[in-house]
Structure 1
Amino acid sequence: MNIGIIRMRYNPYGGAEVFVSRFVGELLKRGHTCHIFAAKWEENISPSPESPPVTPLSGVKGGEVSLIPSPPAGEGKGEGRFSGQNHASASSKQGSKLIFHKIKTFGPSFLRLLTFAINSYFAVRKASLDIILSFDRTLYQDIYRAGDGCHKEWLIQRAKGKRQRAKGFYSMLYALYYVLNPLHLTLLYLEKRLFQSKSLKFVVANSNRGKAEIIRHYKLPEEKICVIYNGIDLNQFDLNEKGKTRAVYRERLGIKNETTLLFVGSGFERKGLRFLIEALGTLKKESKVGSAPQKVQGQNGGQSPPNKLKLIVVGKGKNGKYQEIADRCGAGTDITFVGPVKDAQDYYYAADIFVLPSIYEPFSNACLEAMASGLPVVTSRINGVSEILSDGKNGMIVEDPADSEELASKIRPLLDREVRSAAGSMARQVAENYTIEKNVEEFLRLIEVAK
């Protein structure tokens, strides 16, 4: 099939972006031709972790770039081959193609969104495609994957959190900001247009909660929305390699005997980093009270939590602001900001507990990757991944992520090594049911219905 895929930014950073890249890699393996309609893509990207890197494309100003699997050495240069490199995975079927279409945008962020939606509309209408999948809020598609969730719901959750921290006049200012912000107005307009589009045949939500939000806000018929949970490349998380990598990265991060919490995600406000730092401060204060910390009773007997905790933060955000919060909470020397990375696997292996107290999260890929790495996960009920967790068994679920005391109470039992080891093992077993291969097969069945 000729499959059109719309994604404004096609790069290796962020859970949604990584998912799209792996999704495309699986389609190529099955012999399909994928047309990527994007405003921007990363140099040296690959459609899947095992693929060779793509040749730099920074010189491309517009039009289309065709990147086709090169034949084996000695069998000719191959169409679309640049500098001896090929883009598709070596395991891709002969004849599969990956074609990039440059979509022009301009102006500030809200105008870039609008011009991308308009220009991609004309681009996909001109192309000869069997099916059009959109991973962004656009104007023309057969299937929309709501991987970023429902923007209207996100604004409600964000405003609620802001109002809880602000009072009186400042609370009114926050409300006006959300009503008048042109970026939010544009996203809401595009979201509404998308769900009212006559071309839209199906919406794929990545959680039941996400499905319910779309129905509640946009009255879309339930039969038009299909829930397909995220999938990961399980082969990337080989636990036989974990011990060696763990030792190397713990040394690199300056971790000695500390129990290490890990946070992975860009957009620290939405992901709830503030609440995790406050919970860390609470746990550290507890460890200093009395001559010995209170024992936590686990299923294999109690152990005293360690006197030292460490938090590793992977992702892009306002580091300075959150360092100040950590300083005020008494945890300033116990937090390390790594910045954004293309692959967080080594950090999962270095950590002991994964924590993501998001205030809005359709379905966190990072949580699923942490589970595949054998880590117990602590996350909020509003995170779609909570639907596959069993609270107190393979992870912990927080009802109110902004309640740092509740968050600390969920982390506390996992300070027992035996408890977190058992929870991590069960988390890995759950993750094994959510592979990218299974995700793509479900998607392809939906495509056959939509064609």
Structure 2
Amino acid sequence: MRVALAIGDFSPQKGGAERSVAEIAEDFLHSGHEVHVFAYRFGDSVEGRLQRHKVPVIPFPKSLRLLSFALMASRAMRRGGFDLTISVGETWGADVLQSRGGVHWSWFWKSLRAYRNPLLRGVKLLGRLLSPKQWAQGLIETIAYKKAKRIIAISEMVKEDIVRYYKIPPDRIEVSYTKVDIERFHPRNRRWRADIRARYGIPQDAFLILFSSHNFRMKGLRYLIEALSILKDSGKYYYLLVLGRDDPGPYLRLAKKLGCEERIRFAGEVRDPERYYGAADLLVHPTFYDACSRVVLEALSSGLPVITTRSNGAGWVLLNGEGGMLLEDPFDANNLSEKIRLFFDVKIQEETEATARSIILKIYKQL
């Protein structure tokens, strides 16, 4: 079978949608299919057997780059005579539409909450409303959903958003959670516990909380640090290890101001996150918006309990309370601190560890 996928920037090393598309392509390749990828940019770490098609675009401004790619890539796939065409929301008219970033307008509004200062939030909103790029993305997505033959949502939350914003009947939408490598992200990675902790000067008997993101503001690091400052006199010996390439400066200053800077380590971007899951006791991901956070799914697959928010599609797998807990409001540092405190209880810790991986195995078995 000849399969075509389209994504503007096909750079798997960036993670996110780019990485997901690469994994979809690899799955088809390993099944013996001929795979074509249409993009205006290709990264370095691209599967050699892929047939690459560079799509000509208007490079500037971003709005015209998005629109020209949507038009040209859609036309090229339509004329290619493929057996199956797949779009991730940047083109229209494909056989399958699976937007990896969720619904644009849901992100547009929910992510504004990451700016707590009303003035700053207002400025950010005004900037988005005046941005041709935002309207171009919205237009492309609107056309894509109207023309979609088959729609796949990457979480139940995204499915609800599609129904809400595009009035598509729920029975037309399938749910297929983002897949992670369950062999790579496995409880046996706890063998790296001593090595990782020693690398960052974290005692072996300390309770280690993990945070992983390349966008510290959007994923709520500030409020996690505030929550930990509340716990500094709890008598529990805890540490926070932060992964990601964002700027740690503002958060180190905040931690110093709150008197908990000695409990925090910044590791930067890492290439072996599975080892860090194995070293931790809890993942906290108080995000303001995630269509389906890969970090949360990787942690659960590793047997690591999770605290995240209802604005994270991946968090909806925790609705029955197994494998972790859901936070209603990312701003609520007091509530977050209480949820973290619960995991200081060895019994609760062991119970959630025991169910975390089974959640992932169950949802993947249903796919």
TM-score of the aligned structures, taking structure 2 as reference length: 0.90
2:126 corresponds to 1:173: no
Task: Give the equivalent residue in structure 1 for 2:3.
Answer: 3
Which structure 1 segments of 5+ residues have no match?
47-53, 55-66, 68-97, 288-292, 294-304, 443-451
Write the distance in 2 (CA, Å) between the matches of 1:342 and 1:127: 37
Aligned positions of 1:2-401 closer than 5 A: 2-10=2-10, 11-46=12-47, 54=48, 67=49, 98-105=50-57, 106-162=59-115, 164-166=116-118, 172-197=122-147, 200-240=148-188, 242-256=189-203, 257-284=205-232, 286-287=233-234, 293=235, 305-306=236-237, 309-390=238-319, 392-401=321-330
Write the distance in 2 (CA, Å) between the matches of 1:342 and 1:143: 31
Task: Give the equivalent residue in structure 2 for 1:74.
Answer: none
**Shift of residue 272 of structure 1?**
1.7
Question: How big is each residue's C-alpha offset from its partner over 1:154-195, in whole Å with a ceiling of 9 and x where there is no partner?
Answer: 121133453x5325xx55434322211233222222222222
| SS of structure 1 residue aligned to 2:362 | coil
Question: How big is each residue's C-alpha offset from its partner over 1:314-361, in whole Å with a ceiling of 9 and x where there is no partner?
Answer: 223232233333233323333222233344211111211111111111
Question: 1:176 is aligned with what amino acid?
Answer: L
| SS of structure 2 residue aligned to 1:341 | coil
State whether residues 326 and 332 of structure 1, in contact with CA within 8 Å, keep that contact through their aligned partners in structure 2. yes
State whether residues 271 and 358 of structure 1, in contact with CA within 8 Å, keep that contact through their aligned partners in structure 2. yes
Question: How big is each residue's C-alpha offset from its partner over 1:55-106, in whole Å with a ceiling of 9 and x where there is no partner?
Answer: xxxxxxxxxxxx2xxxxxxxxxxxxxxxxxxxxxxxxxxxxxx212222341
**Shift of residue 43 of structure 1?**
1.7
State whether residues 151 and 188 of structure 1, in contact with CA within 8 Å, keep that contact through their aligned partners in structure 2. yes
Question: 1:352 is aligned with what amino acid?
Answer: D
| SS of structure 2 residue aligned to 1:184 | helix
Question: 2:86 is aligned with what amino acid?
Answer: L
Which structure 2 segments of 5+ residues have no match?
none
**Shift of residue 16 of structure 1?**
3.2
Question: How big is each residue's C-alpha offset from its partner over 1:231-273, in whole Å with a ceiling of 9 and x where there is no partner?
Answer: 2221213433x24322222222222133211112222222222
Question: 1:258 is aligned with what amino acid?
Answer: A
State whether residues 201 and 224 of structure 1, in contact with CA within 8 Å, keep that contact through their aligned partners in structure 2. no
Write the distance in 2 (CA, Å) between the matches of 1:19 and 1:434: 18
Write the distance in 1 (CA, Å) between the matches of 2:143 and 2:133: 15
Question: 1:421 is aligned with what amino acid?
Answer: E
State whether residues 144 and 202 of structure 1, in contact with CA within 8 Å, keep that contact through their aligned partners in structure 2. yes
State whether residues 89 and 140 of structure 2, in contact with CA within 8 Å, keep that contact through their aligned partners in structure 1. no
State whether residues 231 and 434 of structure 1, in contact with CA within 8 Å, keep that contact through their aligned partners in structure 2. no
Of the candidates 336, 344, 350, which is equivalent to residue 407 of structure 1? 336
Write the distance in 1 (CA, Å) between the matches of 2:253 and 2:228: 14
| SS of structure 2 residue aligned to 1:270 | coil
Write the distance in 2 (CA, Å) between the matches of 1:247 and 1:333: 20
State whether residues 13 and 340 of structure 1, in contact with CA within 8 Å, keep that contact through their aligned partners in structure 2. no
State whether residues 12 and 342 of structure 1, in contact with CA within 8 Å, keep that contact through their aligned partners in structure 2. no
| SS of structure 2 residue aligned to 1:104 | coil
RMSD between aligned alpha carbons? 2.3
Mark the CA change 1:342 to 1:41 in structure 2 (over 3 Å): closer, same or farther. Answer: farther
Larger Rg: 1
Question: How big is each residue's C-alpha offset from its partner over 1:110-135, in whole Å with a ceiling of 9 and x where there is no partner?
Answer: 34323322331232123231111012
Mark the CA change 1:275 to 1:368 in structure 2 (over 3 Å): closer, same or farther. Answer: same
| SS of structure 2 residue aligned to 1:432 | helix
Question: 2:73 is aligned with what amino acid?
Answer: S
Mark the CA change 1:348 to 1:118 in structure 2 (over 3 Å): closer, same or farther. Answer: same
Mark the CA change 1:311 to 1:111 in structure 2 (over 3 Å): closer, same or farther. Answer: farther
| SS of structure 2 residue aligned to 1:136 | coil
**Shift of residue 201 of structure 1?**
0.4
**Shift of residue 279 of structure 1?**
1.3
Mark the CA change 1:229 to 1:329 in structure 2 (over 3 Å): closer, same or farther. Answer: same
Question: 2:137 is aligned with what amino acid?
Answer: L
Question: 1:14 is aligned with what amino acid?
Answer: G
2:365 corresponds to 1:417: no
Write the distance in 2 (CA, Å) between the matches of 1:40 and 1:333: 42
Mark the CA change 1:14 to 1:388 in structure 2 (over 3 Å): closer, same or farther. Answer: same
Write the distance in 1 (CA, Å) between the matches of 2:251 and 2:45: 32
State whether residues 157 and 359 of structure 1, in contact with CA within 8 Å, keep that contact through their aligned partners in structure 2. yes
TM-score of the aligned structures, taking structure 1 as reference length: 0.75
Q: Which structure carries more helix by proportion?
A: 2
